[in-house]
Amino acid sequence: MSLLIAAFGFGLVSMSVIALAAVGFTMQFGITNMINLAYGEVMITSAFFAYYLNQAHLSIWIAMLGGAAFGAVFSFLINRFVYAPFQRRGTVLIYMVIVSLAVSLMIANVMLPIVGYFSVSYRERFSLLLHLGSIALTINQIAIIALAVAVMLAVHALLRYTRLGKAMRATAANPMLARNCGIPTQRVIDLVWLITGALCGFAGVVAALDSDSFTIASGAGFLITALAAAVLGGAGQPYGAMIGAVIIGLVTELSAAVWSPDYKQVVAFVILVLVMVLRPQGLLARRGALAAAG
Partner 1 sequence: MNSYYLVNLLIFAGVDIIACLALNLQFGVSGVVNFSFIIFQAAGAYAAAILSMPPDTAPDFSFQTYVGGYQLAFPLPWIGGALAGALLAVPVGLVALRKLRSDYQAIALLVTSIIANTVINNARPLLNGAAGVANVPQPLSDQLNVSIQTYQFLYVGVTAICVAIVWFLAARIVNSPYGRTLRAMRENETAVAALGKNPTALKMTIFIVGGAIAGLSGAILVGFLQVWAPSTWLYPETIILFAAVIVGGRGNNVGAILGALLVPLGFEEVTRLLGRMNIGPPTLIPALEWVCIGLLILGFLWFRPKGVVPEQRRVFPGAPAVEEETRWVVGKGAR
CA–centroid distance for 154 within its chain: 15
Query: How far apart (Å, rounded) are the C-alpha atoms in residues 195 and 155?
Result: 10
Q: How far apart are the first and last CA of the chain?
A: 45
Of 6-14, 41-49, 240-248, 268-276, which segment contacts partner 1 by CB under 8 A?
268-276
| Beta carbons within 8 Å of 62's beta carbon, 6+ residues apart | 53
Provide, rounded to whole angstroms, the least separation between the CB of residue 274 and partner 1: 9
Residue at 105: amino acid letter:
L
Query: How far apart (Å, rounded) are the C-alpha atoms in residues 43 and 60?
Result: 16
Q: Give yes or no for residue 272 binding partner 1 (CB under 8 A).
A: yes
Of these, 56, 57, 113, 131, which contacts partner 1 (CB under 8 A)? 113
| Beta carbons within 8 Å of 108's beta carbon, 6+ residues apart | 41, 44, 216, 217, 219
Q: Give yes or no for residue 77 binding partner 1 (CB under 8 A).
A: no
Q: Which is nearer to partner 1, 18 or 151 (CB)?
A: 18
Site string for partner 1, 176-215 (x = CB under 8 A): ----------------------------------------
Q: Which is nearer to partner 1, 34 or 68 (CB)?
A: 34
Provide, rounded to whole angstroms, the least separation between the CB of residue 223 and partner 1: 9
CA–centroid distance for 97 within its chain: 17
Q: Which is nearer to partner 1, 138 or 211 (CB)?
A: 211
Is the Cβ–Cβ distance between 45 and 107 less than 8 Å?
yes
Q: Which is nearer to partner 1, 140 or 218 (CB)?
A: 218
Q: Which is nearer to partner 1, 247 or 272 (CB)?
A: 272
Bridging pattern class, strands 213-214 and 120-121: antiparallel
Of these, 5, 145, 224, 250, which contacts partner 1 (CB under 8 A)? 224
Give whole-number Cα distances, 155 to 168, 188, 233, in Å: 12, 15, 16
Of these, 8, 52, 61, 86, which contacts partner 1 (CB under 8 A)? 86
Of these, 5, 97, 257, 283, which contacts partner 1 (CB under 8 A)? 97
Q: Give yes or no for residue 3 binding partner 1 (CB under 8 A).
A: no
Q: Give yes or no for residue 106 binding partner 1 (CB under 8 A).
A: yes
Of these, 5, 6, 58, 82, which contacts partner 1 (CB under 8 A)? 82
Of these, 1, 94, 128, 176, which contacts partner 1 (CB under 8 A)? 94
Q: Which is nearer to partner 1, 127 or 174 (CB)?
A: 174
- Kindly tell me the burial class for residue 211, based on how many C-beta atoms sit within 10 Å of its own C-beta (0-12, 13-18, 19 or more): middle
- The contact set with partner 1 (CB under 8 A) reads 33, 35, 37, 82, 85-86, 89-99, 101-103, 105-106, 108-110, 112-113, 116-117, 220, 224, 227-228, 231, 235, 262-263, 265-266, 269, 272-273, 276-277, 280
